[in-house]
Amino acid sequence: MKKNSALLNLVLSAMFLAIGLILPFFTGQVPQVGKMLLPMHIPVILCGLICGWPYGLTVGLILPLLRSFLFSAPILYPTAVAMAFELAAYGGVVGFLYGKSRWKCIVSLYRSMLLAMVAGRVVWGIAMVILLGISGGTFTISAFLAGAFLNAIPGIVIQLILIPALMVILNRTRMVQFSEKKASCTSAGQKNGQ
């Protein structure tokens, strides 16, 4: 049974990697739109949630580098390298936190996603400081705020709507275990005296 589960996670991870390679083509014709909608983030976060943190971390690490080598977008240095660390953090953190959640429900899903989004952006900022520092450039706090938050607001909103909706759909197909009702999280904790 465990062998089948590992094989399924490997196949799903390959599928999420393929989706991550293809999805930016829908927004990539206009780079500013792609930066705002964050198309590679969605399959990485889903991979972490569905397959677990090691798979999410690995897909997140590989995806921007592989896309850069195959399609020359994003530019390898520093963009794709920094994105590799960022997406690895998204996939790893969201998968770890959601996997450790006592109840698989909307509250734990949003908690895991929001913390992963903050962690990924912090990792991206640190990576950009280091990578640009190596090449003699600078990465200012205003560039960090613009790149991590201000320009990314449409993508963040899309993720916060689309990913929970997909998890609900996958729950109905019994692909993942997920409680659609917010009350099931809180009432279960109250029954156990928490």
* pLDDT at position 187: 46
pLDDT of residue 180: 57
What DSSP string describes 76-89? IIIIIHHHHHHHHH
Condensed to tens digits (0 to 9), the pLDDT of residues 71-121 reads 998 899 999 999 999 999 999 999 999 999 988 889 999 999 999 999 999
Residue 182 lies in a domain: yes
Query: Helical H runs in the chain?
Result: 2-22, 31-37, 41-51, 53-71, 81-100, 106-134, 141-145, 153-172, 182-191
What is the value of pTM for the model shown?
A: 0.87
Contact between 154 and 37 (Cβ < 8 Å): yes
**From the centroid of its chain, how far is CA 111?**
13
The confidence score (pLDDT) of residue 181 equals 56
pLDDT surpassing 80 at residue 174: no
Q: Within a domain: residue 194?
A: no
Q: Return the CATH number at 65.
A: 1.10.1760.20
Residue 193 lies in a domain: no
CB 182 within 8 A of CB 166: no
Distance CA 126, CA 69 (A): 23
Cβ within 8 Å of residue 44, ≥6 positions away: 16, 20, 56, 59, 60, 63, 87, 90, 91
Domain with 30, as residue range(s), is: 2-188
Closest Cα partner for 40 from 61, 63, 58?
Answer: 63
pLDDT > 90: what percent of the chain? 60
3-state secondary structure (DSSP) of residue 111: helix
For residues 194 and 183, what is the distance between their CA atoms, to the nearest angstrom? 14
Q: Is the pLDDT of residue 190 over 60?
A: no
Per the structure, the count of domains in the chain is 1
* Tens digits of residue pLDDT in 109-159: 999 999 999 999 999 999 999 999 998 888 888 888 888 888 889 899 999
pLDDT per residue as tens digits for the range 48-65 = 999 999 999 999 999 999
